């Protein structure tokens, strides 16, 4: 069918220079109508093919890694892709929550599609911040049970992000480990090396009781976020044991 249509239009293109004006006017109108639909198909195809496939782009694994994970919101579509963060706690997905202490918040958080880039997550999280009268804004990420299983003090936990921002912004990562009645908190500034940012937490020097670890979560804390658009193109968390000395 497609070949026949293509052959017909090839023939018409050859006949056009010798066609009478009445017929040429008719075929010109039909060609324009068809061109609109063809352009629509091309536009949608180019947009979709420029996006990483869902399930593709596996997280990078540093040498010696025994566990690596990318939160669901960066891997697949969520039920509500965009929300206005009108209250102090806004649940984005099963494992991601936005917190702030604004009295009059003007914060919008959305899940958006990434464009094609090797190793990049299929989706991104975009945070639009307008006026901001609070003292903090953070994205809390609950780590799965696999992060707790087999956790030892000799482990290093690594957080890697790809960030686009309209204005330069500092991002701090805080690792929270619930063990027994206590919560150990370790804060690191994420290194600012262009879009790629990372932080590492060495549990060796912490006060964690590795036999009583119940839960781990991560806070990404944004410094002075007012009048900025921050797009987290990817977030991955990995774990590897420190080399034996």
Contact indicator for 231, 62 with CB cutoff of 8 Å: no
Please tell me the distance from the alpha carbon of residue 100 to that of residue 89, in angstroms, as a whole number: 7
Q: Looking at the DSSP assignment, which residues form a beta bridge with residue 15?
A: none
Identify the weakest region by mean pLDDT among 66-75, 110-119, 158-167, 220-229: 110-119
Shared domain check, 147 and 30: no
**pLDDT digits 0-9 by tens, 35-86:** 888 877 775 665 566 566 665 566 677 778 899 999 999 988 888 889 999 8
Domain count, the chain: 2
CB 152 within 8 A of CB 133: no
Both 41 and 145 in a single domain? no
Judgement on whether residues 78 and 172 belong to the same structural domain of the protein? yes
Residue 127 counted as domain residue: yes
Q: Is residue 129 part of a domain?
A: yes
Residue 15's pLDDT band (cuts 50, 70, 90): confident
The answer to the question of residue 234 being in a domain is yes
Determine, yes or no, domain membership for 59: no
**Banded pLDDT at 17 (limits 50, 70, 90):** confident
Mind listing the pLDDT tens digit for each residue in 119-155?
788 999 999 999 899 899 999 999 999 999 999 999 9
Full domain range(s) for residue 153 = 67-241
**Phi, psi dihedral angles at 158 (to 5 degrees):** -120, 135
DSSP secondary structure code for residue 25 in this structure: H
- Is the same domain home to 100 and 148? yes
Longest C-alpha distance within the chain, in Å? 89
pLDDT of residue 140: 97
**pLDDT for 23:** 84
Predicted local confidence at residue 48, as pLDDT: 66
CA distance 226 to 113: 24
**Together in a domain, 118 and 215:** yes
Q: Is residue 191 part of a domain?
A: yes
Write down the pLDDT at residue 31.
82
Q: Which residue has the higher pLDDT, 177 or 13?
A: 177
Predicted pLDDT at 239: 94
What pLDDT, on a 0 to 100 scale, did the predictor assign at position 29?
A: 85
Exposure string of 18-28, with b = 16+ CB inside 10 Å and e = fewer, is eeeeeeeeeee
Give the per-residue pLDDT at 38: 81
Is 61 inside any structural domain?
A: no
Do 36 and 98 fall within a single domain?
no
* Nearest alpha-carbon partner for 240 in 204, 207, 209, 205: 204
Beta pairing class for 213-222 and 137-142 = antiparallel
């Amino acid at each position: 069918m497609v070949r026949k249509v293509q052959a017909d239009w090839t023939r018409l293109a050859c006949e056009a220079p010798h066609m009478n004006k009445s017929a040429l006017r008719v075929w010109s109108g039909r060609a324009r109508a068809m061109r609109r639909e063809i352009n629509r198909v091309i536009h949608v195809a180019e947009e979709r093919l420029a996006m990483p496939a869902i399930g593709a782009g596996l997280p990078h694994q540093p040498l010696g890694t025994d566990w690596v994970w990318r939160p669901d919101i960066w891997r697949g579509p969520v039920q509500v892709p965009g929300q206005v963060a009108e209250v102090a706690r806004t649940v984005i997905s099963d494992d991601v929550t936005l917190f702030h202490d604004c009295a009059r918040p003007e914060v919008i958080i959305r899940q958006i599609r990434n464009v094609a880039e090797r190793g990049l997550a299929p989706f991104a999280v975009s945070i639009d911040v307008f006026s901001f009268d609070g003292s903090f804004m953070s994205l809390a990420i609950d780590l799965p049970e696999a992060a707790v299983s087999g956790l030892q003090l000799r482990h290093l936990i690594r957080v890697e992000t790809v960030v686009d921002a309209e204005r330069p912004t500092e991002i701090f990562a805080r690792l929270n480990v619930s063990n027994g009645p206590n919560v150990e908190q370790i804060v690191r500034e994420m290194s600012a090396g262009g879009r790629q940012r990372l932080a590492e937490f060495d549990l060796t020097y912490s006060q964690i009781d590795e036999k009583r670890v119940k839960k781990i979560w991560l806070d990404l804390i944004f410094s002075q976020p007012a009048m900025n658009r921050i797009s987290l193109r990817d977030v991955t968390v990995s774990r590897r044991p420190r080399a034996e000395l």
